[in-house]
């Protein structure tokens, strides 16, 4: 094993400074703002634009349209950053992300808002892909596992904070949550001061200039898992609010708190990912996470009390957090250094496609069989996937 060079020691020192970590993980957590900030404003937006033809279709698009553009542009972003570098795209994208996000505060035409959301989605694709690949480029081995866990914690923590902030602001006006995107300018300043373009170590330099083609088939299981976990995890924000209010007859006021508890569980388990990997292999982490998610939906189906639902939400958050961090770790392990951007870009595309497809997949099932039957069906499918993973060599 080669001893670290002076340059590598200097990079190690730089990448462990507190303000550097704040800049890095603020950049990676920006993308959670996309849907979280606008979601509480949807009822007020629907009322404000009620006079517009097809407002019932157009208003929800304010929430989902960025996901579609992330899905289409993430692979392009991955190819671009592999070719030209990460910061060259990250910093301008952060500015565009902030400007297009905050524009909704001033716009009063729903079609202009939708155009701004489309631009916002394109910027999100570049921010998400660049920032995630930077984490993989700055750190290696167990250190990378630790930082991927911190990234998951920062993302979930940001989600919980922004969900609470957006809920408060949306009570004042549907316009005010758009102002939260001003935080992007703060994150941009931090990133421009503290982040740097990582250099490839000499002992892997020959890999970076390799002409070895990108073989997508090697990544299909990882991409499928990213898509699958998003389809199932997003049942929580899209279906459980109806379960809590209509089936359990609880107050709508506790829905936000319930979702936040799941996000906190997601973040905490991600933070402990490095320690979990000491005892469990990548395959075993997948199995434990799937068992947690399958058990959560089984609890939703079998026990109709709010406290059991909270336990299920904690299990769902833990399972989802483990799978996403484990997935990124596995992806960066099997991807060549010069292919990480492309590999992560396609991963982002699959994950956002899962978010977008989740209600489209689950709604026909609910219409035909019912919400409780959906929970049972998801549990069966998840445990079947658990069995398949147990038989596969990873």
3-state secondary structure 98-147: HHHHHHHHCCCCHHHHHHHHHHHHHHHHHHHHHHHHHHHHHCCHHHHHHH
Statement: residue 158 has pLDDT above 90: no
* Cβ–Cβ under 8 Å, residues 379 and 359: no
Statement: residue 1 has pLDDT above 50: no
* Cβ–Cβ under 8 Å, residues 151 and 28: yes
Question: Vertex 63, ends 60 and 65: CA angle to 5°?
Answer: 95
Tell me the average pLDDT of the chain.
Answer: 87
Domains of the chain: 20-199 (1.20.1250.20), 217-394 (1.20.1250.20)
pLDDT at position 5: 65
Residues with Cβ within 8 Å of 225's Cβ and at least 6 positions away in sequence, in order, are 286, 323, 327
Instruction: Give the integer Cα–Cα distance in Å for 135 and 183.
Output: 21
pLDDT at position 205: 45
Which CA distances in Å does 154 have to 23, 100, 120, 383?
11, 23, 21, 29
pLDDT tens string 83-109? 898 999 999 999 999 999 999 999 999
Residues with Cβ within 8 Å of 331's Cβ and at least 6 positions away in sequence, in order, are 219, 222, 343, 344, 347
pLDDT at position 245: 82
pLDDT tens string 36-52? 778 778 778 888 999 99
Statement: residue 211 has pLDDT above 70: no
Place 4 in a pLDDT band, splitting at 50, 70 and 90: low
- What residue has token string 């097809």? 54
Give the Cβ contact number of residue 87 at 10 Å.
Answer: 17
Statement: residue 270 has pLDDT above 80: yes
pLDDT average, residue stretch 7-21? 80
Task: Say if pTM beats, i.e. exceeds, 0.85.
Answer: no
Statement: residue 7 has pLDDT above 50: yes
Highest-confidence range of 98-102, 205-209, 264-268, 358-362, by mean pLDDT? 98-102
Statement: residue 220 has pLDDT above 90: yes
pLDDT at position 283: 95
> What tokens does 12 get?
């190690």
Instruction: Give the integer Cα–Cα distance in Å for 166 and 63.
Output: 14
pLDDT at position 15: 86
Give the Cβ contact number of residue 218 at 10 Å.
Answer: 11
pLDDT tens string 327-352? 999 999 998 888 889 999 999 899 98
pLDDT at position 2: 56
Runs of H (alpha helix) within the chain: 6-14, 18-29, 33-36, 42-48, 55-84, 87-102, 110-138, 141-172, 183-194, 205-208, 220-233, 235-242, 253-271, 273-279, 282-302, 306-334, 340-368, 371-391
Q: Which of 81-90, 122-131, 207-216 has the lowest mean pLDDT?
A: 207-216
* Cβ–Cβ under 8 Å, residues 279 and 322: no
């Amino acid at each position: 094993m080669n001893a670290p060079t002076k340059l590598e020691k200097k990079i190690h020192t730089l990448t462990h400074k507190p303000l550097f970590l704040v800049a890095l993980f603020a950049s990676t957590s920006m993308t959670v703002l996309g849907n979280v900030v606008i979601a509480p404003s949807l009822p007020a937006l629907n009322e404000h634009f009620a006079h517009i033809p097809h407002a019932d279709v157009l208003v929800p698009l304010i929430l989902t349209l960025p996901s579609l553009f992330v899905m289409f542009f993430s692979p392009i972003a991955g190819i671009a950053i592999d070719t030209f570098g990460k910061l060259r795209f990250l910093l301008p994208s952060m500015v565009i992300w902030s400007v297009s996000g905050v524009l909704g505060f001033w716009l009063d035409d729903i079609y202009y808002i939708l155009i701004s959301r489309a631009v916002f989605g394109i910027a999100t694709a570049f921010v998400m892909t660049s920032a995630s690949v930077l984490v993989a480029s700055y750190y290696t081995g167990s250190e990378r596992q630790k930082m991927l866990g911190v990234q998951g914690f920062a993302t979930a923590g940001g989600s919980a904070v922004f969900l609470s902030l957006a809920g408060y602001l949306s009570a004042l006006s549907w316009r005010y949550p758009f102002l939260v995107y001003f935080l992007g300018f703060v994150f941009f300043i931090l990133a421009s001061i503290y982040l740097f373009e990582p250099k490839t170590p000499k002992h892997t330099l020959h890999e970076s200039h390799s002409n070895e083609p990108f073989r997508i088939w090697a990544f299909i299981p990882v991409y499928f898992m990213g898509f699958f976990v998003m389809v199932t995890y997003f049942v929580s924000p899209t279906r459980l609010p109806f379960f809590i209010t209509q089936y359990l007859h609880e107050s709508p006021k506790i829905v936000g708190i319930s979702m936040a508890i799941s996000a906190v569980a997601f973040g905490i388990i991600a933070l402990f990912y490095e320690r979990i990997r000491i005892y469990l292999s990548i395959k075993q982490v997948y199995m434990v996470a799937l068992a947690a998610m399958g058990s959560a939906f089984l609890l939703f189906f079998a026990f109709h009390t709010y406290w059991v639902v909270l336990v299920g939400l904690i299990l769902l958050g833990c399972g989802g957090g483990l799978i996403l961090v484990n997935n990124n770790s596995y992806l960066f392990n099997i991807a060549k250094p010069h292919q990480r951007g492309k590999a992560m870009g396609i991963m982002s595309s699959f994950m956002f496609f899962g978010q977008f497809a989740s209600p489209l997949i689950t709604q026909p099932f609910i219409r035909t069989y019912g919400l409780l039957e959906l929970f049972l069906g998801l549990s069966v499918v998840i445990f079947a996937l658990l069995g398949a993973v147990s038989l596969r060599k990873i």
